[in-house]
Chain A
């Protein structure tokens, strides 16, 4: 349907569309004449992969590095270290930045701030294709076609300005804009968080439909666990710039392996009034990412913390020992690492057996 050809599938279905290795972003702060130079460890040694056609949900508290991760993946800010492979290609080497831009797009949280107030909706959607060499007339036709796909009647909305449409409609425009370059992967950074519940549901259904129609892969960032569960195939839980748990969404929901994930899930308000949450599952704010705790970053708030937790940072390990599948359920907790020294850890002999 589009005048822009999608990027070619290079590695086949087995190769992850997006592979992230040890992604790190440190923001230097201070460092004046007398002030001590400090760094905010916004994203610290994050690794994950997104398979072709799946939806990876990323959840975590505010300030845990979700949005920074999104911007790093989009190459909108330079990373401190680590590598990002798009279908096995390194951006800037085997894949040009221009081609990469076509392959990966993003929908931002603030539907108003992410649209230029001086451009009509049609102009905003047609901008990307025009940048990639599509003639003005065709780009406009494409914009109108995409408006139809996201449920906005072109004859009504094409010439409107962002402030003349509702929040849900604006987010549809943002989705259409992201799709205008015919991307393979779309990052949805809190894309539905600012919408009313009923509109949110409509947009979520739209996203599901579009995914099927265009064969998209999503990275869905949200703090709303219900939404993440609804839309994701796999989920990744972040805490203070690190991955604490990752796995298929059903497994993580049914058997969360990390105490932080358990606390997050317990903090979800239940619909049944008999099951209301009586005691707060997690108290206090997350520690300052300028000076994160040594060892496991969660040990300051964890009710299972032991001496080893403050000393050694646990690596991501299979929640069921011995599970080595590519989409295995992993958790970064000493309680799942055999022989870690934690009293609740499985015995080292179990693995050997």
Chain B
């Protein structure tokens, strides 16, 4: 069957069809700001992971005679903290816990929230009402207050702060997932899939998931910075990590008293939190525009 109107398309060189995510990755790789942010994040993450092999000073070894040395002191490139511990070493080691409690709650909440939102959005009706109204109860509290309240009830500790932060983020991600699902649900291809006799679970897996994941993913990436700041806040209040464990939020707390003595050193943990948060935010923005493909 010859089709003149289609001749041009057919004559085009047959290239291997590029998947959606491959296109997004290609577009993202052309975005200089996003790539710079990604590079910084990868550097920080790698440094945290390989900290013991970097030849750094012992982050727990203090020295009473070398307390609060300023930045640039020979042997202590970033100075020392209030107990004379090497700041560079503590900042690198601190990334291990800070990044963990910054990222893990978001990953957990991403899984739980996407599942709940998908169910609520696809099934609609009573299921939607039950899930979304329950979520609204949590949503009514300011996230900082909710995180403090849950952590306070569960007690201090890393696992407990991860749990409390997950609980804080699930409602937000569920909200986004539900609204995206509802809009995709109304498209004809979902009805076509239903007309083929597929079960709700199959339709959600094959047809819904790939179409709702993108926007939720972008939103979740943005939450990582919030999570890091909340985690730092919990540690600051003594609800997260405990001394002498190096963790940025906790370090910010303990160095607080030295702010008039050595403001440069006292600000360093905050600088790290700020740098990582802003990188995740920029990356999330870049991802958003890379995924906004209009042909």
Contact = CB atoms under 8 A, between A and B. Distances in A.
Contact of A128 (B189, B191, B196): B196
B189 to A, nearest CB: 5
A199 B7 CA distance: 13
Contacts of B189: 113-116, 124
Tier of interface size on chain A: 35 or more
A114 B206 contact: no
Interface in A180-204: 181, 196, 198-199, 202
Interface string B1-30: 101011001100010110110000000000
B6 A166 contact: yes
Interface residues of B, number: 28
Given A113-B187, A115-B189, A161-B17, A131 B202 contact: yes
Contacts of A155: 14
B197 interface: yes
Nearest to B193: A127
Interface stretch (A98-106, A294-302, A321-329): A98-106
Contacts of B210: 116, 118-119
A132 B198 CA distance: 8
A168 B6 contact: yes
Nearest to B186: A113
Contacts of A120: 17
Nearest to B4: A198
Contacts, number: 94
B195 A168 contact: no
A215 interface: no
Contact of B192 (A106, A164, A166, A199): A106
A74 interface: yes
Given A118-B211, A156-B10, A165-B9, A127 B206 contact: yes
Contacts of B196: 101, 105, 127-128, 131-132, 181
A108 B197 contact: no
Nearest to A129: B196
B242 interface: no
B195 A76 contact: yes
16 contacts: A101-B196, A102-B197, A114-B192, A115-B189, A118-B20, A120-B17, A127-B196, A127-B198, A128-B197, A131-B196, A159-B16, A164-B17, A168-B5, A181-B197, A196-B5, A202-B1
Given A151-B3, A174-B192, 13 more contacts: A74-B191, A74-B195, A101-B197, A105-B195, A116-B189, A116-B211, A132-B196, A156-B14, A166-B6, A169-B6, A177-B192, A196-B5, A206-B1
